[in-house]
Amino acid sequence: MDAIAHYSNEHHRLSVMQLWETVFGYETAHNTPSLAIDKKLAVSDGLFFVALAGDEVVGTVLAGYDGHRGWLYSVAVHPAHRRKGLGANLVRHAEGALTARGCMKINLQIVSANEHVKTFYESLGYSVEPRISMGKKIESNIVMPGGQS
């Protein structure tokens, strides 16, 4: 890995979409890479980072901050670049950006199908908390390219 940089739609979009398809796969429209990228860029908060090896995007992390809590999303490392500390560097980079904004606590969620990454996050100081995670999709805001939902 050469650097962690701010995401640039012009330079990184296609590579990030390909990476996310490789790492996450997608089963629901609200997680489609192009929609997720567009929604993140719309908030213009500077909390979307990519790890680069030369010009190639090999990792990502999105962070969010609402003034109370920070969140980590889409921590992804290309399979060929895993087990080299890249994921930890991405998480620490996002933590630094959130801390600089005054964030006091950072949350993340792991989908049950990906539970094996729990030990990775525990090694970075995260712990399982007694919470019930709930969500509600707002279908009217899940519009795919071409106008389909």
In three-state form (DSSP H/G/I as H, E/B as E, the rest C), the secondary structure along 32-67 is: CHHHHHHHHHHHCCCCEEEEEECCEEEEEEEEEECC
Element (H, E) at 91: helix 86-100
CA distances from residue 63 to 45, 47, 90, 114, 148 in whole angstroms, order as listed: 9, 5, 10, 19, 27
* Region for 135 from its dihedrals, namely left if φ exceeds 0, alpha if ψ lies in -120 to 50, beta otherwise: beta
pTM of the model: 0.89
List, in order of start, the domains of the chain with CATH numbers. 3-128 (3.40.630.30)
The pLDDT, as a whole number, for residue 26 is 74
> In which residue ranges of the chain is pLDDT below 70?
1, 28-30, 144-149
pLDDT at 1: 64
Question: What's the pLDDT score for residue 139?
Answer: 87
Give the pLDDT confidence score for residue 104 in this predicted structure.
Answer: 96
pLDDT at 111: 87
User: From CA 131, how far away is CA 118, in angstroms rounded?
Assistant: 15
Report the run of H or E that residue 18 belongs to, with start and end: helix 9-23
How far is C-alpha 12 from the geometric centre of its chain's CA atoms?
Answer: 14
